[in-house]
Amino acid sequence: MQVIITVIGTDKVGIIAAVTTKLAALDVNILDVSQTIMRGAFTMMLLAQLPAEADFTAVKTQLQDLGADIGVEVKIARQEIFDAMHKL
Amino acid sequence: MESNQIKETIEMISEENLDIRTITMGISLLDCITGDTSTTAARIYDKITAKAANLVAVADAIENEFGIPIVNKRISVTPVALLAGSDPKPNFPAIAQAMDRAAKAVQVDLIGGYSATVQAGCTPADVALINSLPEALATTERVCASVNVGATRSGLNMDAVKLMGQVVKDVSAIDPVNAMKLVIFANAVEDNPFMAGAFWGVSEGDMAINTGVSGPGVVQRALADQPHATFEQVCEQIKQTAFKVSRMGQFVGKVAAERLGVPFNIVDLSLAPTPARNDSVAQILETLGLSHVGTPGTTAALALLNDAVKKGGIMAAEKVGGLSGAFIPVSEDANMIAAAAAGQITIEKLEAMTAVCSVGLDMIAIPGKTPATTISGMIADEAAIGIVNNKTTAVRVIPVPGKDVGETIEFGGLFGRAPIMAVNDGDASVFVNRGGQIPAPIHSFKN
């Protein structure tokens, strides 16, 4: 299952490290990544592949918990919904 | 990875209230008919709870995985007046109560279809169902009712219009909240996923999934970014936004239908407001350059909005149906509530607006002293607009006992609050009491 993970929050040291370390621990493979600072807000988007046996809800919960710990908002959604809205 | 598109989608959902307003499962109850309504009621409960057992779980899973809110999970069923079978004294409230229990058992928000379609005349069962409405709506929580009194091909059943004026009063006399669950239609559609008017027409299949989307906030935000746009640019912007919003309805409906193992039927291309901030259709009209909804220009603004929503949405979905258009319920739209409370919008202006948008006089609180014949007159006017213009129209008014213009009724939550609006105090009783049928208009004869 391919997913889009977005991380938004106030910029500070170590956000990418914390998120990617967590993804590695969850055996989630990153396929693409983009990161910018928009109007002072740290914004990162990742396209990632969940392992076949992964429990989506468990991954989501772990990422949201991590976001709460480091003070950023982490969202995860299956990638198909973004294609559905924007691609013919 | 298209970062801008991803960001746009996420902002639409998290900041602009884009959501799937409803996933509605249509279920035919024709195979539940028996010789008596009590047995039929038991079979109805069994069928609904079997067929819709996984509806809410599937919708919740989709919301979790794809990150788009699915606000309501609902069921629509065959118009119940058709289910009397050979029962000479149909006990329709027993069916309403079975529907209510079934809705609670499968945890859907509402179940629609406690309905009769009487545009060309009433059967004894239709009359029995209509007369049972006050009791049925008072003894259930989640059951929604509708009566179709007119159609372009049939004309207007004025006997039923007369009856419904009194029924609305009787329903409200028990509790005005119950009147929110009753819609009187002309040209009702058989695949509408929105409540309170949803039912599952007899020409539909055994079961299917229908979706209704909503995102007034998305459209409003897109227009607010272009304050000096021409009408062509405005319409183009609405079309593009409506396309994206409608694609969500198509996508989610398709996934839900696959997981439930039932056909996917239609997307209702709708703009449905809620009282939440930035979720208002009236605010879109105001963003187009009107000081408040109700100002001269409002009908034109609503017409262009409604048309552009359809043009944008129609290519986004495999099959489009339902009511498809902008809804203008007064008590469910924050800016509409404000305009009504300030006296800036009247029932007459709302009636004009219903000629160019989806449905009709919706969620309007009126003085409790309003005579039944006046309510019948309002129903007849609204039905005439629908019948002559080949569109669906409806009336969902709430006579509030003991309250008058200047007062407010609170419904709570998504249902908002409604200022009591003034009704013309002329007398329609002689007109309404004539009895009979207003024939179908000349342009209905197309064969």
The CA distance from B223 to B202, in Å, is: 41
The minimal CB distance from B251 to the residues A31, A57, A84 is found for: A84
Find out whether A78 and B66 touch, Cβ atoms under 8 Å. Answer: yes
Q: Which residues of B touch A82 (CB under 8 A)?
A: 2, 5-6, 9
Residue at B55 is within a domain:
yes
Average of per-residue pLDDT across A29-43: 91
Instruction: Determine the residue among A37, A82, A83, A88 to mutate to test chain B binding: the one whose Cβ has the most chain B Cβ atoms within 10 Å.
Output: A82
The minimal CB distance from A56 to the residues B1, B10, B65 is found for: B65
Cβ distance A77 to B66 less than 8 Å, yes or no, reads yes
Q: Compute the nearest-CA separation of B26 from chain A (Å).
A: 24
Average of per-residue pLDDT across A14-41: 93
The minimal CB distance from A85 to the residues B1, B64, B244 is found for: B244
Cβ distance A76 to B67 less than 8 Å, yes or no, reads yes
The CA distance from B91 to A28, in Å, is: 58
The minimal CB distance from A6 to the residues B10, B66, B244 is found for: B10
Cβ distance A81 to B9 less than 8 Å, yes or no, reads yes
| Domain containing residue B182 | 19-186
The CA distance from B62 to B141, in Å, is: 27
Q: Which residues of A touch B62 (CB under 8 A)?
A: none
| Number of domains chain B contains | 1
Find out whether B331 and B418 touch, Cβ atoms under 8 Å. Answer: yes
Average of per-residue pLDDT across A58-80: 96
CA nearest B63 in A: which residue?
A: A77
Residue at B289 is within a domain:
no
Residue at B436 is within a domain:
no
CA nearest B61 in A: which residue?
A: A57
The minimal CB distance from A85 to the residues B1, B9, B64 is found for: B9
The CA distance from A60 to A58, in Å, is: 5
**Encoded tokens for B256:** 């839900």
Helix, strand, coil fractions of chain A, as percent rounded to 5: 40, 40, 25
Q: What would the DSSP string read from start to end of B30-75?
A: GGG--SSHHHHHHHHHHHHHHHTTTHHHHHHHHHHHH---EEEEEE
Domains of chain A: 2-86 (3.30.70.260)
Q: Compute the nearest-CA separation of B270 from chain A (Å).
A: 16
CA nearest A80 in B: which residue?
A: B66
Q: Which of B379, B382, B385, B281 lies closest to B330, judged by CA?
A: B281
A vs B, Cβ pairs < 8 A, gives 57
pLDDT reported for residue B414: 64
Q: Which residues of B touch A33 (CB under 8 A)?
A: 1
Residue at B118 is within a domain:
yes
Residue at B39 is within a domain:
yes
* CATH number of domain containing B54: 3.20.70.20
Q: What is the DSSP letter of B271?
A: B
* Helix pair B231-260, B298-313: axis angle to 10 deg: 50
Cβ distance A86 to B9 less than 8 Å, yes or no, reads yes
Cβ distance B66 to A81 less than 8 Å, yes or no, reads yes
| Tens place of pLDDT per residue across chain B (447 aa) | 888 899 999 989 988 889 999 999 999 999 999 989 999 999 999 999 999 999 999 999 999 999 999 999 999 999 999 999 899 999 999 999 999 999 999 999 999 999 999 999 999 999 999 999 999 999 999 999 999 999 999 999 999 999 999 999 999 999 999 999 999 999 999 999 999 999 999 999 999 999 999 889 999 999 999 999 999 999 999 999 999 999 999 999 999 999 999 999 999 998 999 888 889 999 999 999 999 999 999 999 999 999 999 999 999 999 999 999 899 999 999 999 999 999 999 999 999 999 999 889 999 999 999 999 999 999 999 999 999 999 999 999 999 999 999 999 988 766 778 999 999 999 999 999 999 999 999 999 988
